[in-house]
Amino acid sequence: MQIPYYSIIKDMKTKFDFRYHLVQYAKSHSVSQAAREFSTTRKTVRKWISRFEKLALRGLNDRSKAPHHIPHKTKELDENRIHLAREKYPQWGPKRLRDLAKLPYGSSAIYRVLKARGLCHKKKKYQKKRDLREWKKKHFSVFGKIQIDVKYLKDIPEFFPSMIRLNLPRFEYTGRCIISGATFVAYANANNSTHAAIFAQYLFQHLRYYNVDTSTIQCQYDNGSEFIGHPSKKELSLFQKQVDSFRLLHSRIPPARPTFNSDVESFHRIVEQELYSCESFENQSQFFAKAYSYSLFYNYVRPNSGKENLAPWQIVKKAFPDIDPNVLNLQPIFLDALVTHFIEGGYHLPKFPIGQKNFGQKNQFFSKRNSLGGGMAISCRLQGYAVYPADLSVNNPPG
């Protein structure tokens, strides 16, 4: 009993040779004899003879069965828009392009376009990590634990030329609430305990001003010299003394274990991708203006996929319904300008709020715009107030 042609061909990995012998047999005998010999129909034999005569050996390969016309396929104009957005923000994935760049397409459609145009990065090997979100919610409240760390800005390739040319800050001091994700930043050209102490006082004085009980806050930091001072010294560093002055609980992570500071490290990755790597800066004032704008956008508007797509302000408002909306509105300052004042004043900054004005409710100082039309997805409308005064100095503090 002969095996039918279809039963043979469907399981073959390379069908080319079988079809070639079919055509050669038909040419040396006849179509009918070839159909009987290969257990198929004369129509199939004629099909392969016809393709062989038109395209030679290439005609014996399988043809794509994909449709020639796809009615719902993304139009080329839309694909170009996705392409331009990816070029502007090369480190943003499909979901972030959809949400932050305000592209009116699904994340899967954006991914298809990026993949088709060779704009996808090679995926890193992913090691499954423990999900500690529920554990954190159970053991900490909003503002219950704040992680503090320093980000080096000089190792960002896209930012480095502007940093050198415009003398922009080299370090970002960051504090982040692990529950709400609310983040506060300041900048400096040095990474030491004095600057860390100024940042700690600036941050916790701000929270105390808005009636946050700082005595319940656990301040977590690593073992860098800017936080703990020289290891051989037995006395507390300036930073640790500032933390003590607000009656905060100290929490040091184990050496060489940055994953313990994963929340603040996560923000460092995000701010690099969404600000430093994709924004251009013309001068120092514009740098601080964009940093302030991004800080407001991140704390009040930007949804966090790891926190049920809620912005930090929504989480804080849910925990403290009567809290002042400006509690997350902390202006990034240049810490170097306050070093002399900090030391001469007995480690105390000017009375808070420093350089801050009440902008009212959230909807009064935000305006949306299309990011493809220029810059970030959200811009801050400051109503005539200079975000970073050019004359910021010890003798002329802002405010």
Q: What are the boundaries of each domain within the chain?
A: 5-60, 76-116, 133-380
pLDDT in tens, 77-106: 988 999 999 988 888 889 888 888 888 999
Q: What is the pLDDT of residue 137?
A: 66
Q: What is the pLDDT of residue 118?
A: 86
The mean per-residue pLDDT over the stretch 261-279 comes to 92
Does the pLDDT of residue 208 top 90, yes or no?
yes
- Structure tokens that stand for 68 in this block: 């020639």
Peptide bond preceding 353: is omega within 30 degrees of 0, i.e. cis? yes
Annotation: CATH topology of 133-380: Nucleotidyltransferase; domain 5 (3.30.420)
Does the pLDDT of residue 126 top 70, yes or no?
no
Contacting residues for 283 by C-beta, under 8 A, at least 6 apart: 166
The mean per-residue pLDDT over the stretch 233-244 comes to 88
Whole-number percent of the chain with pLDDT over 70: 78
- For residue 317, the Cα-to-chain-centroid distance in whole angstroms is 24
Does the pLDDT of residue 109 top 50, yes or no?
yes
What is the edge-to-edge ordering of all strands in the sheet holding 183-188?
183-188, 171-177, 145-152, 218-221, 249-252
Whole-number percent of the chain with pLDDT over 90: 43
How far apart CA 331 and CA 338 sit, in angstroms, is 14
Q: Residue 114 half-sphere exposure, CB side, CA atoms within 13 Å? A: 25
Crossing angle for the helix pair 42-55 and 16-28, to the nearest 10 degrees: 100
Does the pLDDT of residue 346 top 80, yes or no?
no
Does the pLDDT of residue 188 top 90, yes or no?
yes
- Give me the chain's average pLDDT, please: 81
264, 265, 267, 273 alpha-carbon torsion, rounded to 10°: 170
Sorting pLDDT into bands at 50, 70 and 90, what band is 350? Answer: low
Reduced to 3 states (helix: H, G, I; strand: E, B; else coil), residue 176 is strand
Q: What is the pLDDT of residue 139?
A: 65
Q: What is the pLDDT of residue 275?
A: 93
Whether the Cβ atoms of residue 150 and residue 144 lie closer than 8 Å to each other: no
Cα dist from 121 to 113, 115, 124, 171, 235, whole Å = 13, 9, 9, 28, 48
The residues that bridge with 310 in the sheet, in sequence order, are 304
For residue 235, give the DSSP letter: S
More confident residue, 183 or 60: 183
Q: Centre a 10 Å sphere on the Cβ of residue 310 and count the other Cβ atoms it contains.
A: 17
Which residue blocks in the chain are alpha helix, DSSP H?
5-9, 16-28, 31-37, 42-55, 76-88, 94-100, 107-116, 133-139, 160-166, 193-209, 225-228, 238-245, 262-271, 284-300, 312-319, 339-344
The mean per-residue pLDDT over the stretch 37-65 comes to 88
More confident residue, 270 or 348: 270
The mean per-residue pLDDT over the stretch 193-204 comes to 94
